[in-house]
Structure formats: structure tokens, C-alpha cells
Amino acid sequence: MTLFSELTLASGGVLPNRIAKAAMEENMADGDHAPSAELLKLYRAWAEGGTGLIITGNVMIDARAMTGPGGVVLEDDRHLDRFAHWAEAAGQGGALVWMQLNHPGRQMQVALGQEALAPSAIPVDLGPQSKHFALPREMTSDEIAEVESRFVATALLAARAGFHGVQIHAAHGYLLSQFLSPLSNHRKDRWGGSLENRARLLLDVIRRLRAELPKGFALSVKLNSADFQRGGFSPDDARRVVDLLAGLGVDLVELSGGSYESPAMAGMARDARSLAREAYFLEFAEEIAKTATVPLMVTGGIRRREIAEEALASGMAMVGLATALAIDPELPNRWKAGQGRAPVLRTVRWKNKPLAGLALMAAVKYQLDRLARGRKSAPGVFPLWALIVAQLKNKARARRYRRWMASGRRGVGQDGQAA
């Protein structure tokens, strides 16, 4: 098996190679919070780059619950033609295209003006930065059932639009990850306490999806290998959840890690663990792979072919690239041609790790914005400058989002342009 070997999924799809474009949050919705012209241009660049799998940035299942301003929302079929164009653009190079589905839970910015729901009324702890996130309210059983149904409804719409599969985001401190973590889930009912209870919502979503999705449609889960917070979701928890998912018809589990509070997915953690290696989560994924019966994918910091090959040799079925493809969308083709690693972003060595994580994510989005406009990436951008640019754009997008919500989310912005 090599990076350029095919992978046949349990649902029947065939990935042309073992390299995936992992999800990144682009914040490039048009005026209707559907895929914009810029977003399609960005995905065409990745489609031509040679990956076997393209996973979209997170698509929101509820317009009231956004991971950030400018996010894409899929609640109904009003703009399904634009999603069909997105699937077509991303798949034109022969890759399978999966839509990532997400709900932010408590990780929702207060500037968006919406109520935040969470397993328990425990706010995000980012020190002075906590004020930027809404104080969450504990979800009722009816609201949990609604979220489950929304995941299913959006997945069915993705299938109608021509996507080949969906990935359920249960990592990085978003809602499903919040249910999984004992730090953010203090419930005393059937969704709290034991790991089996904390995993109940995720497992119920997966059961319904596999029962209702069309035959041959792929189903994936993105899961933390660990929260990287003491007392949080642990590698042992991750191993047990992977085992629980294995019998439910899941095609692939992507392993990542961290949250806004501990941004390990950006190469930073608040605890004493060392994440110095290029593949941040490979050591955790290797342990999970020893007992897993479902194919695994590891994402986090990979930019060299030899590290990607090491991941495959250690038991991974796929390797996910994110930042590397934001800098060099042609990297898989260059690997196949025997060429080297992707350029790297400037290192962020700020003492405030959550803020440093935001700056690094802003530097990644800076690259995405350039690619979406047909320009070359600029990996040398200063993270502070990228963060300032991102904050200014977010303010404008948040204002537009509030106007959109106030209008009833109809007829606002038909030009197909991102903010």
C-alpha cells in the first residue's frame, strides 16, 4: 500500500488515493449563506491538486448556530443548485467529495447575536477572550432531538446535491465533542455521566444517517484523539468511541484533537504534552489503530511525503492535509512527481496559546482568501497582521449575518459574492 493506492470504502465508494483535503473553515458564504463564487474557485484549485478525497469546510445544520460569520448553511433546498455547483467543482479532478456537517454548541461568537446551546451551561474558558463567546444554555431533550434530526436532514440534502458522503464533526470542542467531554458535559440524564451516555447523541445521529442515507453514500466521523485538557476526553475514550462506531456502518474515522480552549489542532496545547512532531496526533492514532476495525485517517501538521507514508505504515488508511494544502494546493501532485514538502507558515510563539491558535488559524484563512481570488499563497504573512485582517472581516460578516437573520434569511444578497 502506498499513498497513491486506491481505498475501497465499506459503502462501496473508491478513493483514488490515500490523501485527503481535510476540512478548514473558509467563511466564504454568499449573501444567502450558500457557497459563493470564491468558494467554488478555491475548491477547483484543490480539485486540480491531486487529492483522493475532498472534505468541505464545516457546513452548518442550523442558521442560528454558526461556528463563525460567513459560514455556509444548509437547512433546506432553496439554494441547493449552488451546493450542486460546489460538489461538481470539488469533484472535477476525480476525488470523492464529502460535506462536513457541524453545530458549534457553546463555541459561538457573541457578536452573532444568537443564543448558544450546549450539553451543560458551562462557558468557553479562554481567559480574557471568553467575553467573545456567548454564555450557553443547557439543551432540553427536545432540542437534542432537533439537533439529531437536523444532522440527518442536512446530510440528505447533501446527497441530493451530488456530494459522495458526509463527515460528522465530533471534534475540536464543537457540540458533539462537548457532549463527549466530561469537562463540558455535566448532565445527569441519559446524555451524561458514562462515556456511553456522553456518546449517545453522536451514535444516534450515525444510526439514523446510515438507515436513511442512500446506498453507496459514505459516512465519516471526525473525532478528537484527545482534548489535551486534564480531565477531558482522553485517548482511551477515543479508542472506545471508535469501537462503538465500528458496528454502525461508518466508512472512515478522522482523528484530530483539541478545541478553542486547547488548540492542539493548530499545534498548540495547554497541558505539558509535546506535540513537536510534524504529525501532531499520530502517536495517539497509532494506539487507537491497534484495536480499531474501521479505517482511520490522521490529520494535523503533515506536510512531507515521508511523514504521510509513515502514517500509512503505522496503520492509518488515509492521511489528511489542511494547512499544507492552503499553502500549496498542488502538493499531492508534486508528491507523486517526487517533489518535496510544502512551505510553512511563520511560527507563533505567543504565551497566550488560545490567542496564538486564533492567529495561526487566521494565517491559514489568509491563504484561503488568496487562493479563492486566483492569487498565490503568502506563507510569510505575519500572524498578527493576518489576525487583524481576519477580525475586521469577521466584524463585517457578523453585521451582515445579523441583517440576514433579521430579514428572515430570504432575499438577502443574490450576487453570489462572499463578504
Any residues with CB less than 8 A from the CB of 354 and at least 6 apart, and which?
A: 126, 127, 129, 260, 261, 262, 263
- Tell whether the model's pLDDT for residue 13 goes beyond 50: yes
- What are the distances in angstroms from CA 340 to CA 66, 307, 337? 37, 11, 9
254: β partners: 222, 297
pLDDT digits (tens, 9 = 90+) for 312-321: 999 999 999 9
Q: What is the CA radius of gyration of the chain?
A: 19
Higher pLDDT: 411 or 286? It is 286
As a whole number, mean pLDDT of residues 51-77 equals 96
The predicted pLDDT at position 261 comes to 58
The predicted pLDDT at position 348 comes to 86
* Cα–Cα distance measured from residue 146 to residue 14, given in angstroms and rounded to the nearest whole number: 33
- Tell whether the model's pLDDT for residue 76 goes beyond 80: yes
User: Which burial class, exposed, middle or buried, applies to 351 when counting CB atoms under 10 A from its CB (0-12, 13-18, 19+)?
Assistant: exposed
The predicted pLDDT at position 228 comes to 62
pLDDT-based confidence at 349, cuts 50/70/90?
confident
8: β partners: 14
As a whole number, mean pLDDT of residues 63-85 equals 96
| Phi-psi category of residue 125: left, alpha or beta, with phi > 0 → left and psi -120 to 50 → alpha | beta
User: Which burial class, exposed, middle or buried, applies to 88 when counting CB atoms under 10 A from its CB (0-12, 13-18, 19+)?
Assistant: middle
As a whole number, mean pLDDT of residues 344-348 equals 88
As a whole number, mean pLDDT of residues 347-368 equals 87
The predicted pLDDT at position 258 comes to 67
Q: Which CATH number fits domain 7-406: 3.40.50.2300, 1.10.510.10, 3.40.1280.10, 3.20.20.70?
A: 3.20.20.70
Residue spans per domain, the chain: 7-406
The predicted pLDDT at position 61 comes to 98
The predicted pLDDT at position 273 comes to 41
Global pTM? 0.92
pLDDT digits (tens, 9 = 90+) for 204-230: 999 999 999 999 999 999 998 866 666
User: Which burial class, exposed, middle or buried, applies to 110 when counting CB atoms under 10 A from its CB (0-12, 13-18, 19+)?
Assistant: middle
- Tell whether the model's pLDDT for residue 413 goes beyond 50: no
pLDDT digits (tens, 9 = 90+) for 257-289: 766 655 444 444 433 343 345 556 777 888 888
pLDDT above 90: percentage of residues in the chain: 75
As a whole number, mean pLDDT of residues 328-347 equals 89
H-helix or E-strand spanning residue 220: strand 218-224
pLDDT above 70: percentage of residues in the chain: 90
